[in-house]
Amino acid sequence: MTAVVEPVASPGRVSTTATPLALYDRVLHSAALSRPAEFLAPRGPVAPGAVLGGSANLLLVDPAGGRPPQHVPVARWCGGLRMGDDALLAHCHAATLDVGCGPGRLAAALARQAVPVLGIDISAEAIRQARRRGAPARLACVLTGDLDARWQHVLLADGNIGIGGTPSRLLTRCAGLLRPGGDLLVEVGPPGTASWAGLVELAVDGERSTPFPWAVVAIDDIAAMAGRAGMRVRETWTEARRWFARITR
């Protein structure tokens, strides 16, 4: 899961009874139900305003109020390949683990290209949708799951460098899943933006989730972050206002 860094109006005081996973699953389910044709399309975005169930309004909120709310683009994930995805997938020529695969647009695209791939996510709804797209996918947490260290590439796209709220720990874990000579392919924030880590909440339609840890890493800071995990940035690139890094041991 990631968020588009775009300040929006604060959702104000709302109830905080749902877990983040329950709230996310509900919005993801609504998004897929409302636009099934676009959901299954191999490429092309879904217009965010066209998705029902409040998915266009899902926000990532700082409970302390120190950062502006940010959009969580569920509708975009439920569409086809985005601009910038092709260059990212071109780096995946062998066994690839897609961490936080969501509805599976990247894993499904690799499967169509006959690249061995597995998508993992902690969301049962995401895994159901990924499999519906034809992506091999499994319910698992990258930080605690029993995963084989056999991957040539590990994808952390769509801001999933934020999983767990401690990027250096996540990079260390993902490095341990690589076979010799493998790499991490990480989407990061644009230059000049602030990296941060802390507690956040999801908010939609008058409801907030309980807090959970998350992080954002900008391209300016990824080399230092990789260094703390005993790794090095070998390549960076940008396309369609998205930024990426290839990281190895």
Question: What is the percent of the chain with per-residue pLDDT over 70, rounded to a whole number?
Answer: 84
pLDDT at 92: 98
pLDDT at 33: 78
Q: What is the pLDDT of residues 189-214, one digit of tens each?
A: 999 999 999 999 999 988 999 999 99
Q: What are the structure tokens assigned to 145, written together? A: 């799951």
Q: Supply angle C-alpha 45, 127, 87, rounded to 5.
A: 45
Q: Which residues pair with 4 in a beta bridge?
A: 71
pLDDT at 160: 97
Q: Is the pLDDT of residue 156 over 60?
A: yes
Instruction: Give the total number of structural domains in the chain.
Output: 1
pLDDT at 39: 52
Kindly report the pTM of this predicted structure: 0.88
* Beta carbons of 48 and 76 less than 8 angstroms apart: yes
Task: Quote the DSSP letter at residue 10.
Answer: -
Domain residues for the domain of 89 are 4-248
Average pLDDT of the chain?
88
Across 101-117, average pLDDT: 97
Q: Which residues pair with 202 in a beta bridge?
A: 60
Query: Which residue did the predictor score with more confidence, 199 or 16?
Result: 199
pLDDT at 232: 98
Q: Give CA–CA dist 126/179, Å, rounded.
A: 27
Backbone φ and ψ for 132, nearest 5 degrees, come out as -60, -35
Q: Is the pLDDT of residue 47 over 50?
A: no
The full DSSP string for 132-144 is HTT--EEE--TTT
CATH number of the domain within which 166 lies: 3.40.50.150
Task: Quote the DSSP letter at residue 19.
Answer: -
How many CB atoms sit inside 10 A of residue 24's CB?
Answer: 24
pLDDT at 3: 46
Query: Which residue did the predictor score with more confidence, 170 or 2?
Result: 170
Q: Is the pLDDT of residue 2 over 50?
A: no
* Beta carbons of 159 and 216 less than 8 angstroms apart: yes
Q: What are the structure tokens assigned to 68, written together? A: 């502006």
